[in-house]
Structure 1
Amino acid sequence: MTATTTARSEKRGISPLFLAFVAIMLVSGWAVWSRTLAANTGFAVFLFVVSGWVVSLCLHEYAHARTALHSGDLTVEAKGYLQLNPLAYSHALLSIVLPVLFVIMGGIGLPGGAVFIERHRIRGRWRHSLISAAGPLVNLVCVVGLLLPLGLGWLDTAPVEFQAALAFLGFLEVTATLLNLLPVPGLDGYGIVEPWLPPGLRRQVAPFAPFGLLAVFGLLWVPEVNRVFFDVIYGLIRALGTPPELAAIGDSLFRFWQ
């Protein structure tokens, strides 16, 4: 094995930090299932949801980077984006810290900042759109993986605390998917349609991209917008056969400090 091959292998190895979050998710999930921490079930749910949320955020950013790699941007490997390391992102604060804080404070799966893709290396509008779509598709897969087993009754014999934890994590993934797909500058939804817009319009919109996420969050504080948004979220959860009330129980357990 050459030195170049070794370096490349190291750049693609899975981050120990990511594996640590996976381990926390599995152990805390087992604790909720087995009720090992009966007196602190809420804390176990908290660890399960936060670690599961961070894992999904890492997979979201990895999907952007992996798709960019196969679309022509070979620099993502050297940047460490393929290691699933939350600290390797160009905006770790936006990608990981803020979304986790919003989950803790408001119970909303806020989408994080994307990895830095050198778009000039990529040819073809479809490739640009696919790179932006890859992240939300990961969240959508998480939604199906978390909520469909509940909706199909596969976990009816599981402890209600475990079902509630899965439902709340699935709720967060639904909110993240929907928010990320909004065609707002700075979000993946806009990244999907941007390559198809006239160049002049893209230049006019570009300065507003850093504020798109803040604008969406601000709108969610408007009662009418908030009500419509969560009606849609609850409708999607019901469509997968999961009662929204189960997610509410998970949210309550998650806030063990209250």
Structure 2
Amino acid sequence: MGHQGSRGERRISSVFLGIVAVMAVTGWAVWTQYATSTGLAVFLFVTSAWIVSLCLHEYAHARTALHSGDLTVGAKGYLTLNPLKYTHALLSIILPVLFVIMGGLGLPGGAVYIERGRIRGRWKHSLISAAGPLANVAFAVVCTAPFWLDALEGVPWPFRFALAFLALLQVSAAILNLLPVPGLDGYGIIEPWLSYGVRRQVEPLAPFGLIAVFALLWIPEVNAVFFDAVSGVLSGLGVSDLETYCGRDLYRFWQDTNGLCTVTQ
């Protein structure tokens, strides 16, 4: 019975499979330009792929916690990849999607509840926190594979731009999440190595860390430095600023554009 239960706890949810199906169908629509509105197809493809990556981010935290000693993550539904099972669906899914729609920023979510008291060893705690951003890094590597493998021949321009923009979201989410700010995974990585006194002082700040980072990004100088870093990483992966710009331009299909990225096949 217990074995059956654990298998059920790890069965991939139909909700997640539905999101993957939307990603596959809209990705095909972007590739073939089957849809009347290429921009709408890019919007649906990138948004569904972004939600898939958010689910994988949270799954990476939960799976690492499971192997580190927190056996409760299965009963909470975290191993099913169902975004509705997260303790804060608003933080994990809705807000990150809204920020992509509003400003093209890969805002990290953060809402699987790990019972840290069940886990022994500072390295394990650090690894659990690192697992989420590493999932974004892996997703970025996959998205940019055609670019750094120099395998773009035959890839339609809209699909190429969509991948570039999706890669920008993954890289920005990974960089933001790795900042050593309370409430973000970067702080979670270093927290086990801090003294008890420091941790107690910092703990009340955790709910405001993400808000503070987002507020700082509204400062033009900070925003420029941040996106220069994102651009530098993407450039190293073979993705140009023009490609990410055109991807964002297609994604925001409801805006009037200057035609710089008009797609012709």
TM-score by length of 2: 0.95
After TM superposition, the structure 1 = structure 2 runs for residues 122-141 of structure 1, keeping only pairs within 5 Å, are: 122-141=119-138
Cα-to-partner distance string for 1:206-257 (whole Å, 9 max, x where unaligned): 0000000000000000011011111111111111111121011110111111
Alignment-derived partner of residue 230 in structure 1: 227
Q: Secondary structure at the match of 2:100?
A: helix
Q: Secondary structure at the match of 2:37?
A: helix
1:83 pairs with 2:83: no
- AA matched with 1:217: F
- Indicate whether 1:25 and 2:23 are aligned: yes
Q: Are 2:244 and 1:247 aligned?
A: yes
Give distance in 1, aligned partners of 2:193 and 2:143: 33
Tell me what 2:9 maps to. 11
- How high is the sequence identity, in percent, across the aligned residues? 65
Is 2:33 aligned against 1:35?
Answer: yes
Q: 2:31 is paired with a residue of what secondary structure?
A: helix
Asked whether the 8 Å contact 1:59–1:138 carries over to 2, the reply is yes
Structure 1 gaps of 5+ residues are none
Give the superposition deviation at 1:62. 0.3
Q: RMSD across aligned C-alpha pairs, in angstroms?
A: 0.8
**In structure 2, what is the Cα distance between the partners aligned to 1:96 and 1:77?**
20
Matching residue of 2:107: 110
* Whole-angstrom distance in 2 between the partners of 1:223 and 1:50: 26
Q: Does 1:171 align with 2:171?
A: no
Cα distance, 1:186 vs structure 2: 0.2
CA distance in 2, matches of 1:65, 1:212: 22
Q: Secondary structure at the match of 1:78?
A: coil
Cα distance in 1, alignment partners of residues 153 and 199 from structure 2: 49
What does the per-residue CA deviation read over 1:140-165, in whole Å, with 9 as the maximum and x for residues that have no partner? 00111111322332123211000000
Q: Is the 8 A contact 1:150 1:156 kept in 2?
A: no
TM-score (norm: length of structure 1) = 0.97
What are the ranges of 5 or more consecutive residues in structure 2 without an aligned counterpart? 256-265
The alpha carbon displacement at 1:8 in A equals 2.0
SS at match of 2:74: helix
Matched residue count: 255
Equivalent residue runs for 1:143-222 within 5 Å: 143-222=140-219
Please tell me whether the aligned partners of residues 185 and 208 of structure 1 are also in contact (alpha carbons under 8 angstroms): yes
Task: Say if 1:94 and 1:112, in contact at 8 Å, map to a contact too.
Answer: yes
Amino acid corresponding to residue 25 of structure 1 in structure 2: M
Deviation string, structure 1 residues 66-123 (Cα, Å, up to 9, x no partner): 0000101000011000000000001111001100000000100000023000000000
